Amino acid sequence: MANLKDIRNRIKSVKSIQQVTKAMKMVAAAKMRRAQENMEQARPYTFKMENMLNNLISEVNSDLLPVLETRSTIKKKLFVIVTADRGMAGAFNTNITKTAHKAIDDFGKDNSILLCIGKKAYTYFKNRNYNIKKYYIDFWSDLKYQDAIDICNYTKKQFLDSSVDQVDIVYNEFVNVGRQEVKNKIFLPLENKSTKEESNKISDRIFEPSKEVVLKNLVPNYLNTQIWQFLLESYASEQAARMLAMENATSNAQDMIKDLTLQFNKARQTAITTEMLEIVSGAEALS
């Protein structure tokens, strides 16, 4: 059994760690509230644009815009992988990198190029010698809409130049504070996801100047907004995962302190009993 000094030092150490995890939980909670508000405010606009675009795509010729072109053979893919810059967020980063890793290997490592958003994705795939063409790190603390535009412009350029035949995005979608889902979505080419009933509704509307002109102006804004939504979802998910992880760490530290305190009391009681026995034994020996 460890002596009293060792146990006392361990209790002191665990308490210090508990203070750190509690502070990190509070910081993550504050950041998550702001991130969740931004994400939820952007969702209606993003979904409305998506519905409008899906309905318009079914009404126009797919040759109208290059981003609508579906390649007959997918020879090259660009994977956009969205992670955090920091850890201490449970399985948040691990779930994304595992999903992306499997998707890349299933398609073919040599036929895949990567755009890594976040230091965790960049480090993970760099250490495994994957083909990383571009990466963004240390930008989450100052996230701006311009970042989404830059990422979108790069992915469009790769697709329009025929450097890749498809663009996939792997990110975490915010469901609630305790749950985030890893999504692997096709970003380019744009797909028609509207139902027949929705297409019939849109066909009854009159567009001015025309559906084609509306679509040409809508697509660039939609793509930028989609990337922005993915970033907002991922950032809110990161903070939620970190808050939950730090809450669990704080709770575990409290349980460990209780166990160590019990050990300390047992060791102290044993020491006291031993001393009393030695005193009694000494007194009997003298008598």
Dump pLDDT digits (tens) for 238-254.
Answer: 999 999 999 999 999 99
Q: Each residue of 187-202: pLDDT tens digit? A: 999 877 655 555 555 5
Residue 177 lies in a domain: yes
Residue 10 lies in a domain: no
* Whether residue 118 has pLDDT greater than 80: yes
Kindly tell me the number of DSSP H helices and DSSP E strands found in the chain: 6, 5
* Whether residue 271 has pLDDT greater than 90: no
Domain total in the chain: 1
Q: Determine which helix (DSSP H) or strand (DSSP E) holds 90, and give its type and residue range.
A: none
Q: How far apart are CA 228 and CA 145, in angstroms?
A: 6
Which domain range does residue 204 map to? 43-242
Q: What share of the chain is helix, strand, coil (3-state, %, to 5)?
A: 65, 15, 20
Residue 9 lies in a domain: no
What pLDDT score was predicted for residue 258? 94
DSSP state of 163: S
Q: Each residue of 64-117: pLDDT tens digit? A: 788 888 888 999 999 999 999 998 898 999 999 999 999 999 999 999 999 999
Residue 272 lies in a domain: no
49 contacts 144 by C-beta, under 8 angstroms:
no
What pLDDT score was predicted for residue 54? 81
Taking residue 85's Cβ as centre, other Cβ atoms within 10 Å add up to 19
Residue 186 lies in a domain: yes
**Mean pLDDT, range 21-37, rounded to an integer:** 93
Report the CATH number at residue 237.
Answer: 3.40.1380.10
What pLDDT score was predicted for residue 197? 58
- What is the pLDDT confidence band of residue 142, given thresholds at 50, 70 and 90? confident
Give the CA dihedral 138, 143, 144, 147, nearest 10 degrees.
Answer: 40
Residue 276 lies in a domain: no
Q: Quote the pTM value.
A: 0.86
67 contacts 219 by C-beta, under 8 angstroms:
yes
Residue 107 lies in a domain: yes
Q: How far apart are CA 44 and CA 33, in angstroms?
A: 18
Phi, psi angle pair for 143, to nearest 5°: -70, 125
Q: How far apart are CA 47 and CA 193, in angstroms?
A: 12
- What is the pLDDT confidence band of residue 16, given thresholds at 50, 70 and 90? very high
Residue 157 lies in a domain: yes
